[in-house]
Amino acid sequence: MERKINRREKECEEKHSNSEGSEQDKEYKTSLITLNVGGYLYITQKQTLTKYPDSFLEGIINGKIMCPFDADGHYFIDRDGLLFRHILNFLRNGELLLPEGFRENQLLAQEADFFQLKVLSDAVKSRWEKEQLASRETTFLEITDSHDRSQGLRIFCNAPDFIAKIKSRIVLVSKSRLDGFPEEFSVSSNIIQFKYFIKSENGTRLVLKEDNTFVCTLETLKFEAIMTALKCGFRLLTSLDCSKGSIVHSDALHFIK
């Protein structure tokens, strides 16, 4: 008799446990929401979409705002499906994180306004304003010889990222110390100063590892800067000193986009 009772108790416990498990599974599944945004499907949790009260998404999930469904029963939102990735990441992370080189600030700000996410909208607009301000400021890079100031170059550009790219390439080559390139140099935010800059000697060549092009002397370094700028979509506005008869022999280059 005692054995039968124990068996029944065990069966009841198992049923209760299975019942609790199925209820938890059901609750977890219902917490997952699939959105069809402009033809792109996104799956996320209910708590993510309702993170900001009075937002468009919170209104949809909590039944405050009517939203159509697609053929598969998913919420359908007729907005930019690609940009919604950044909306969702903001909801997940609580901060604006965009990929390097992102250029659709105006569109993203409009999407943030539509989804009634004021915090995101303000963050995007602030980022956009900073980029606009930076684009109007001229950034420069100065390459000099501490013992001979006539041996040098100043590169001006309205894009700080381009100046940073040129600077990193020069530093990379300098640190490699190939073919007698000066070993001692110092780098500040806008200046690279060599103890002795490479002189114009035949056969002196350096390899830029990034794209296997060659650099010889300061004059060829200027030419490389020009070619890099043109490849990146910049144009040579003017050489600030063409008295030497050639752009490559000028003391300064000015690029703009």
- Reply yes or no on whether the pLDDT at 22 is more than 60: no
* Structure confidence at residue 28 (pLDDT): 45
- Reply yes or no on whether the pLDDT at 77 is more than 70: yes
**DSSP-assigned beta bridge partners for residue 153:** 143
* Structure confidence at residue 86 (pLDDT): 96
User: 229 falls in which pLDDT band (50, 70, 90)?
Assistant: confident
- Reply yes or no on whether the pLDDT at 206 is more than 90: no
Count of CB atoms situated within 10 Å of the CB of 102: 13
Provide DSSP, 55-81: SHHHHHHTTSS---B-TTS-EEE-S-T
Provide DSSP, 5-17: HHHHHHHHHHHHH
User: 151 falls in which pLDDT band (50, 70, 90)?
Assistant: low
Average pLDDT rounded to a whole number, residues 153-171: 76
Q: What is the pLDDT of residues 33-45, one digit of tens each?
A: 999 999 999 999 9
* Structure confidence at residue 244 (pLDDT): 52
- 174 near 186, Cβ under 8 Å? no
- Reply yes or no on whether the pLDDT at 128 is more than 50: yes
Average pLDDT rounded to a whole number, residues 8-23: 55
Of 32-46, 137-151, 210-224, minimum mean pLDDT range: 210-224
User: 209 falls in which pLDDT band (50, 70, 90)?
Assistant: very low
Average pLDDT along the chain: 75
User: 246 falls in which pLDDT band (50, 70, 90)?
Assistant: low
Q: Tell me the C-alpha distance between 52 and 58, whole Å.
A: 7
- Reply yes or no on whether the pLDDT at 85 is more than 80: yes
Average pLDDT rounded to a whole number, residues 204-209: 44
